[in-house]
Structure 1
């Protein structure tokens, strides 16, 4: 209990008044419990009970008692100046009442994949590129889809009128020791990207929860609205989350080998082979909403074809130019609207399947795949990713690897929840249909 004692002392030294205990439901929504000062010691030692039947993908009402236990290493002093008192955030692990880990805790699923590497004294580093829009609010303070600026890629003031918002986001992330590396305007009006320094997979998934919160809170403070929704506006680029990844043993980057064509080791090539072989079945997790597939269409730089390349940004996986320590794979398909614990678990699980089964990837494609016709893609053996949530569900249901990665509980719940979402969408009559068909028929 020495660890618990040291954190209780730390809370006293930092003069903390409130705790925020956070975890995610199965679809990635953040859940939070606020704990007052008088309960700190009890919560640090014992966690806190809550009703799991109210959380999407957790327990049924007849068996709903669950416990959230703070992950002490996730201790983070929050920077929001609007809080009533100094507040510390803990990410939580979720347990059953009998003390066993809850098999539906998304963080637990990622922990299990990471443990496969840590048993071999290896770690996977993850570096995401998070894209988002900043929109104006209306007179009542409600969100619109009117861009906050009319700048383009890498533009700054006066075209990028939300330049100050982005500076404040960087300042806050620096205050959290999240090591932001860059922030810049993206292609579409009002669209931006924030990059933070890589970290191990679990820490990065924990941090993305906070990064998205900081972006949204800061935009609101300046009278704007920020969203990570994959495709909020028709006819412009959508929001993705490119995921850079590499595996290290100590200080050695296991993905690098100088003498090869692309600087990739056999270990990296097999990891890449596993990604490309299994990625179609993971689409339900990497692009988890109906709206995700409005982003994933040809013509807006979002990759929809299963291929890899060195410089070619039309491929699903790219190998960025980098020094030996920085040699990595960049998976360009996911968006951040899903659950990052499950997304990273799927990515790691697919890569390790390639390593364990020595799966070789196909040859790289350095031509612009977007400009190829169907016959050319067929010639190169390039398949397409699912074109809708319905197709993604079907691919997920056919995959024994996805079931192995997520376990029966989350695997079956994901299918149930997403089949309901898809059914609801299919029943919905859109404005496009009314405008298109009402007068004709």
Structure 2
């Protein structure tokens, strides 16, 4: 038995752990959980835990439903919010078929497969996310039919005694207890909107960390008597919640994006990676922005990037090349700014990596930098400069993605087909709704 498995079993016994939760996600990125008694953990390591895959969104077809959840001992952590009652731990799982093959629709496997392709080219992939979300007084809507935020503060505001301060402090403490390093936290631009930034890690660890992060935020919100939501655009007229992700490739200990003599110190490899992101962004937007509500954020008139462009200080650009620490090679990165906080991180990181690697492999040329704000240009000016729009709706994004060989190959046939099919059903259901806007503007006048 491996040292990691030994450590897990020993810790369970020494800490008096009562339950061990095995976590994994479905294709949509919803966290799934099954709780084991301590006596069953050793068997789960060697044999896995069986479940009906056909009951999990996008996982299997009914006639091939048996799947196994095999815990990854390197992800073992005690859950801080259960430490005072029944000590509980968690481990993320890899999913497999009974004959030992990786489950084709396991999002964690999709990312592992993408990382293996990068490793074949000598690269490791690191990610640093800035995760935004709203704190609301409850899930109930106010008298105006809108969610009610916990405060009316704005960007970087200090609110003495405010709910958000206590919430962020408790969340950061809990994340650190789980071994998830936090870089900083602050109030964001919208009322009740907050941001917590996680310190960079390899993409697989970070995807696991993001799933844990969402759970921690929800648990702390419940304990504070409020409601946390990662919905991309929960409040009309206020900023949406995104997840800007800083991306970097390393070759051994060297940052492949760093060239001290290049403009913005971005190497040729980094430039080609950015070119790949830009060329394929419309194709993978249905993965990084997978809900009908996502496009209210992208096209809602706030600061979300809507056009395919890149820049240095230009925060209206889809991809930004920051220069926070000139001369420090390890900090070189590029920032993709369109991704939702609600995206499935395993699939989103997979397509971002695949697009960047495609740019490197095919030696894509980086288009001219966007020096003007995208929001200040007219449509004609953007067209003349070659700044194409991202898809304007989930329906549009799915139509573009359906034609993408890159996304189909990256996700695999089963995940790709499921996303197309299920997200079209979401579009159809949304199309049938009669909204408050329609009722308020038309019911009394038409």
SS at match of 1:306: coil
1:37-436 equivalences in 2 (<5 Å): 37-81=38-82, 84-137=85-138, 145-158=147-160, 160-297=162-299, 299-323=301-325, 324-436=329-441
Instruction: Work out the CA distance in 2 between the residues paired with 1:5 and 1:161.
Output: 41
- Verify the 8 A CA contact 1:150 1:160 in the aligned structure 2: no
8 Å contact 1:135–1:144 — kept in the other structure? Answer: no
Rate the CA distance shift 1:401–1:83 in 2: closer, same or farther, 3 A. Answer: farther
> Which whole-Å CA distance do the structure 1 matches of 2:415 and 2:278 have between them?
23
Q: CA deviation at 1:144?
A: 7.7
Residues 138/336 of structure 1: CA separation in 2 closer, same or farther (3 Å cut): closer
Unaligned ranges ≥5, structure 2:
none
In structure 2, relative to structure 1, the CA distance for the partners of 1:139 and 1:196 (3 Å cut) is closer
Confirm or deny that 1:2 pairs with 2:7. Answer: no
Q: Is the 8 A contact 1:66 1:97 kept in 2?
A: yes
Question: Is 1:151–1:159's contact at 8 Å kept on the other side of the alignment?
Answer: no
Per mean C-alpha deviation after superposition, the further-off stretch among 38-47 and 314-323 is: 38-47
Contact 2:129 2:198 in 1 (8 A): yes
Q: Structure 1 pair 46/84, CA: closer, same or farther in 2 (3 Å)?
A: farther
TM (norm. structure 2) is 0.95
CA distance in 2 between counterparts of 1:228 and 1:93 reads: 25
Indicate the SS of the match to 1:80. helix
Find the residue that maps to 1:134 and give its secondary structure.
strand
Name structure 1 gaps, 5 residues minimum.
none
Structure 1 Cα separation of the partners of residues 140 and 240 of structure 2: 26
Q: Hey, what's the Cα distance between the residues in 2 that align with 1:213 and 1:254?
A: 33
Determine whether 1:27 maps to 2:25.
Answer: no
Shift of 1:302: 0.3
- TM-score, normalization: structure 1? 0.96
Deviations 1:346-382 (A, max 9, x none): 1000000001100112011121110000111112100
Kindly state the Cα deviation for residue 6 of structure 1 after the two structures are TM-superposed.
4.2
- CA-atom RMSD, angstroms? 1.7
Report the Cα distance in structure 1 between the residues aligned to 2:112 and 2:363, rounded to whole angstroms.
23
Aligned length, in residue pairs: 439
